[in-house]
Structure 1
Amino acid sequence: MTDAERWFPYRPDDAPVRLYCLPHAGGSASAFRSWLGAVPGLAVCPVQPPGREGRHREQPYAHMRDLVRDLAPAVLADVAGAGGGPYAVYGHSLGAMTAFELVREIDALGGPRPVHLLVSGCGAPPLCGGLEGLRPIRDMSLEEIAGLLRRLGGTPEWLLANQALLAMVVTPFRADFTVKENYRYVPGDPLDVPVTALAATDDPRASVADTAAWEAHTRAGFTLRTLMGGHFAVLEQPDLTHKHIAAALQPWL
């Protein structure tokens, strides 16, 4: 398996713009599989972190710094391999934090910047991190993690109720939340990349106000869009999400 196949398991059709999509904690590239071909002119490239699906034998990351240090060169190589055209980055929840740090790492490497950063399910960097009031996920039992996932939403009950199946998916979940718990925002200059933030009206993890605070992290333009619903509204309402993505990327599509 090549480096590109490991990180980007779903190869998109040719299109003017590539969109690298980073999943939520415990999520995988397949969360965005249905997005392939959904937006005309957009080549959706779901990102597959190690420790899940086709990379289940690989050790997941425990620190954001290590993750983006490895991911940034893979993205830049993929962009170059596609002809060096415009690309954007999207992330949901933990994926939004990763997307932000990925853009910073690409900038530090001197690589071509994305034309847009899109985030959802996550307050601005100083306002996101571990889950307040909870002991570390790595110390939780399987039953405690099942209870936490029920409260967060987005995980089917049939999986949560099956101990054998839950044990199979809990490793990347523990690892991703360890990344989240270990994350410390380091202040820096605002991005020279426009940002669109999608906020859900009833998201207990990222309020509309906390999501609006992303505006302070770009000097290239900011747009806030709202959706009705909870933490996974962007995945539950793909047509509306795709409409907002298309509007953000319209100049390049």
Structure 2
Amino acid sequence: MTTSAAQQSDWLRRFHPTPQARMRLVCFPHAGGSASYYFPMSAALSPAVEVVSVQYPGRQDRRKEPCIDDIGELADRIDAELRAGQAGAGVPVAFFGHSMGAVLAFEVALRVEQRGGPGPVRVFASGRRAPSRFRPGAVHQQSDAVLIEEMRRLGGTDSRWLQNEELMAVVLPVLRSDYRAVERYRSGPDRVIDAPITVLTGDADPHTSAEEAQAWSGHTRGDFALSTFSGGHFFLEQHQAAVTGTVTEALGPLLER
């Protein structure tokens, strides 16, 4: 990926551009999240690893664009943007996704591998059960009050923001669209990628049990690793240094090469 290509893309953000990076890590935000969520990770991994963060439509500087409420369509669009931006540009690429972003990281990896391109060297799936582990849910059909309560239950959002009606008027339609996408997502146990998978999970995450996190092992032909942290759905905010360390350790052999 060239600097100009990344700067011109509405979909891809580089907070610490590093042309000499030995690895690029494409990061996929959670439901309701935005590219800037990965600014701290970008700062921590630079300059050895350059973070390329995905910006979905409907948020921040793309807030006037309609949201995409289908995981398949989102994955197709992101895959096309990564190809157009030449995400690898001669260096290995890894994927990191949290919650809904973990599903998208997996789906984009599938698309890259199926078309015969060089796939990600590793996929990090954070805060999400395996694609084949379905739980029925209809949060996207509920009232705004229920959506706000869901945000409060999962954490990761300042409670003062949840009381800001003007801000919630902007955030809730995006969150509802993302929940619609991920709650309607289905994937069978036969959908497998070649890339090794590292799963990161919180031991008190209401959306992912230990068994559901372990089940990611059935979706890779490569090696599998599971790292469990204390905390709920947004455990990575409490363990930023440890999460970064897990990523660095997993990518270490590739970086040394």
After TM superposition, the score normalised by the length of structure 1 is 0.91
Asked if 1:85 is matched to 2:87, the reply is no
Q: Which amino acid aligns with 1:46?
A: S
Report the equivalent of 1:226: 228
Structure 1 residue 186 displacement after superposition: 3.7
Q: How far apart are the structure 1 equivalents of 2:174 and 2:136?
A: 16
Q: Which amino acid aligns with 1:83?
A: A
Name the % identity.
35
* 8 Å CA contact retained: 2:197, 2:217: yes
* Residue segments in structure 1 that go unaligned for 5+ positions in a row: none
**Per the alignment, in what secondary structure is the counterpart of residue 208 of structure 2?**
coil
Asked if 1:36 is matched to 2:37, the reply is no
Structure 1 residue 130 displacement after superposition: 5.1
**Per the alignment, in what secondary structure is the counterpart of residue 198 of structure 1?**
strand
After TM superposition, the score normalised by the length of structure 2 is 0.90
Q: Which of the residues 101, 104, 108 maps onto 1:102?
A: 108
Inter-CA distance 99–234: structure 2 relative to 1 (3 Å threshold)? same
Q: Which of the residues 65, 72, 80 maps onto 1:73?
A: 80
Q: Which amino acid aligns with 2:63?
A: H
Deviations 1:86-127 (A, max 9, x none): 000010011101111111111222221110000110111111
Structure 1 residue 160 displacement after superposition: 0.7
Asked if 1:13 is matched to 2:13, the reply is no
Asked if 1:26 is matched to 2:28, the reply is no
* 8 Å CA contact retained: 2:139, 2:146: no
Q: Which of the residues 114, 117, 120 maps onto 1:111?
A: 117
* Residue segments in structure 2 that go unaligned for 5+ positions in a row: none
Q: Which amino acid aligns with 2:11?
A: W
Structure 1 residue 187 displacement after superposition: 4.3
Q: Which amino acid aligns with 2:52?
A: C
Structure 1 residue 2 displacement after superposition: 6.9
Q: How far apart are the structure 1 equivalents of 2:10 and 2:152?
A: 30
Inter-CA distance 249–157: structure 2 relative to 1 (3 Å threshold)? same
Q: How far apart are the structure 2 equivalents of 1:119 and 1:188?
A: 18
Q: Which of the residues 21, 30, 52 maps onto 2:59?
A: 52
What is the root-mean-square deviation in Å for CA atoms of aligned residues?
Answer: 1.9
* 8 Å CA contact retained: 1:196, 1:224: yes
* 8 Å CA contact retained: 2:139, 2:147: no
Q: Which of the residues 192, 198, 201 maps onto 1:190?
A: 192
Deviations 1:156-180 (A, max 9, x none): 1111111111111112101100101
Moved over 6 A (4+): none
Aligned residue-pair number:
248
Q: Which of the residues 226, 229, 236 maps onto 2:238?
A: 236
Report the equivalent of 1:172: 174
